Amino acid sequence: MRLTTKLIALIIILLSVAAPVFAATNLLENADFETSMIANLIPGWVVFTGRIGVDMLIEPDKAYDGESALVFHITDTEQRTGLRSSPILAVPNGVYEAGVYVYDATSTRVFLYLDFWNSNQQRIAHKTIATTAKNQWEELRVRLTAPEDALFVSIILYNTSGNLGSAYFDHAWLYLVDE
């Protein structure tokens, strides 16, 4: 085998190893925030806390992919801002992975939540991760198994009190990685 052929073979092997071990579908709608706000609604998402069109907007000035991203404008340290993906039916005992890219230009940090509800719309399990980087795109990623009585799964992009500045979110995902 010639050296170039060996190299090509090696590259093919490396690429196949680096490929995702699952071919899951992104369960989120408008995960890249490329669909604009319509009458102060963000398609695929619902308010957790805060005001779409004031605290939460889709803007074109900074994007991880495509042309636009979600931005939180945090102008008051008492302000809590959260956007939840439209809840979807969960598979009990399924393993879910959630993620998002965040450009955090705030004074503290912002969060990604993965959470599960029961039939009473009560949160029964959640996992969260906070940003650690500033003024650069950072990947946040969490995994959690759906409880036996889970009915809905969603993610929340969240800012709690004590923070100021802007945070951008783009390229979100929610996968059922194992049933």
Residues found near Ca ion in the complex (CB under 5 A): 32-33, 63, 65-66, 170
CB of 63 to Ca ion, least distance (A): 4
Instruction: Give the nearer residue to Ca ion in terms of CB position, either 114 or 172.
Output: 172
Instruction: Give the nearer residue to Ca ion in terms of CB position, either 68 or 106.
Output: 68
Q: What beta strand segments (E) does the chain contain?
A: 45-49, 56-59, 69-74, 81-85, 88-89, 95-106, 111-117, 123-130, 137-145, 152-159, 165-178
Of 44, 1, 56, nearest to 166 by C-alpha is 56
Cα separation, 140 vs 111, whole angstroms:
8
Cα separation, 30 vs 39, whole angstroms:
16
CB of 122 to Ca ion, least distance (A): 32
CB of 64 to Ca ion, least distance (A): 6
CB of 31 to Ca ion, least distance (A): 9
Q: Which residues pair with 97 in a beta bridge?
A: 143, 175
Q: Which residue is nearest to Ca ion (CB)?
A: 66
Instruction: Give the nearer residue to Ca ion in terms of CB position, either 102 or 146.
Output: 102
Instruction: Give the nearer residue to Ca ion in terms of CB position, either 115 or 170.
Output: 170
